[in-house]
Structure 1
Amino acid sequence: MLHHEANRALTESRRYAVRTVGAGAPLRWLARGWADLWHCPLPGLLHGLVLAGFGAALALVAHAEFWLLAGAFSGFLLVAPVAATGLYAVSRALERGERPTLATALRVWWPRDGRLVLFGVLLACAGTGWVVTSAALVTGFAPGMVRRPEDFLMLVVAAGQGWLFEAWLALGALLAAPVFASSVIAIPLLLDRRIGVLAAVLTSWRAVLENPLPMALWAVLLVGLTLLSLLPALLGLVLVAPWLAHASWHAYRDLVA
Structure 2
Amino acid sequence: MTAFHVMAGPGEALAHPGVRKIAVSDVFDALRLGFDDFRTKPSHYVFLCLIYPIAGVVLATWSSGVNMLPILYPLASGFALLGPVAAIGLYEISRRRERGLDTAWRHAFDVRHSPALPAILAVAAMLLILFVAWLVVAQALYVRFLGEVPPASLAAFMNGIVGTEAGFNLILVGNAVGFVFAAIVLATVVVSFPLLLDRDVGAVSAVETSIRATLANPVPIAVWGLIVAAGLVLGSIPVFVGLAVVMPILGHATWHLYRKLIEPEKPV
Is the shorter-chain TM-score for this pair beyond 0.5, marking a shared fold? yes
Q: Please, what TM-score do these two structures have when normalized by structure 1?
A: 0.87
Q: Secondary structure at the match of 1:108?
A: helix
What is the percentage of aligned positions where both structures have the same residue? 32
Aligned: 1:196 with 2:205: no
Aligned residues of 1:21 and 1:254 also touching (Cα < 8 A): yes
- The corresponding residue for 1:154 is 159
Q: Residue 98 of structure 1 is aligned with which of 86, 96, 101?
A: 101
Where do residues 241-256 of structure 1 align in structure 2 (5 Å cutoff)?
241-256=247-262
Aligned: 1:136 with 2:140: yes
Aligned residues of 2:74 and 2:138 also touching (Cα < 8 A): no
- The corresponding residue for 1:107 is 110
Aligned residues of 1:145 and 1:151 also touching (Cα < 8 A): no
Aligned: 1:177 with 2:190: no
Instruction: Write the distance in 1 (CA, Å) between the matches of 2:198 and 2:223.
Output: 24
Aligned: 1:82 with 2:88: no
Aligned residues of 2:70 and 2:142 also touching (Cα < 8 A): no
- Classify 1:163/1:73 alpha carbon distance in 2 versus 1 (closer, same or farther; 3 Å): closer
- The corresponding residue for 2:23 is 22
Q: CA deviation at 1:124?
A: 0.8
Q: CA deviation at 1:120?
A: 1.4
Q: CA deviation at 1:179?
A: 1.7
C-alpha root-mean-square deviation of aligned residues, in Å? 2.4
**Counterpart code for 2:252:** H
Aligned residues of 1:13 and 1:199 also touching (Cα < 8 A): yes
Aligned residues of 1:84 and 1:245 also touching (Cα < 8 A): yes
Aligned residues of 1:13 and 1:202 also touching (Cα < 8 A): no
Where do residues 3-82 of structure 1 align in structure 2 (5 Å cutoff)?
12-14=14-16, 16-64=17-65, 65-70=68-73, 72-74=75-77, 76-82=79-85
Instruction: Write the distance in 2 (CA, Å) between the matches of 1:21 and 1:100.
Output: 28
- Classify 1:72/1:248 alpha carbon distance in 2 versus 1 (closer, same or farther; 3 Å): same
Instruction: Write the distance in 2 (CA, Å) between the matches of 1:206 and 1:149.
Output: 44
- The corresponding residue for 1:122 is 126
- Classify 1:140/1:82 alpha carbon distance in 2 versus 1 (closer, same or farther; 3 Å): same
**Counterpart code for 1:24:** S
Instruction: Write the distance in 2 (CA, Å) between the matches of 1:83 and 1:248.
Output: 13
**Counterpart code for 1:196:** G
Q: CA deviation at 1:155?
A: 2.2
Instruction: Write the distance in 1 (CA, Å) between the matches of 2:147 and 2:70.
Output: 17
Aligned residues of 1:75 and 1:124 also touching (Cα < 8 A): no
- The corresponding residue for 1:214 is 220
**Counterpart code for 1:131:** L
Aligned residues of 2:191 and 2:258 also touching (Cα < 8 A): yes
- Classify 1:119/1:44 alpha carbon distance in 2 versus 1 (closer, same or farther; 3 Å): same
How many residues in Structure 1 have an aligned counterpart in Structure 2?
249
- Classify 1:150/1:209 alpha carbon distance in 2 versus 1 (closer, same or farther; 3 Å): farther
* Unmatched tracts of structure 1, length 5 or more: none
Q: Secondary structure at the match of 1:239?
A: helix
Instruction: Write the distance in 2 (CA, Å) between the matches of 1:218 and 1:174.
Output: 16
- Classify 1:104/1:237 alpha carbon distance in 2 versus 1 (closer, same or farther; 3 Å): same
* Unmatched tracts of structure 2, length 5 or more: 1-6, 264-268
Deviations 1:170-208 (A, max 9, x none): 111122211210011111111111111111111000000
Deviations 1:128-165 (A, max 9, x none): 11111121122112267455765553323442476332
Instruction: Write the distance in 1 (CA, Å) between the matches of 2:217 and 2:206.
Output: 17
Q: Please, what TM-score do these two structures have when normalized by structure 2?
A: 0.84
Aligned residues of 2:78 and 2:134 also touching (Cα < 8 A): no
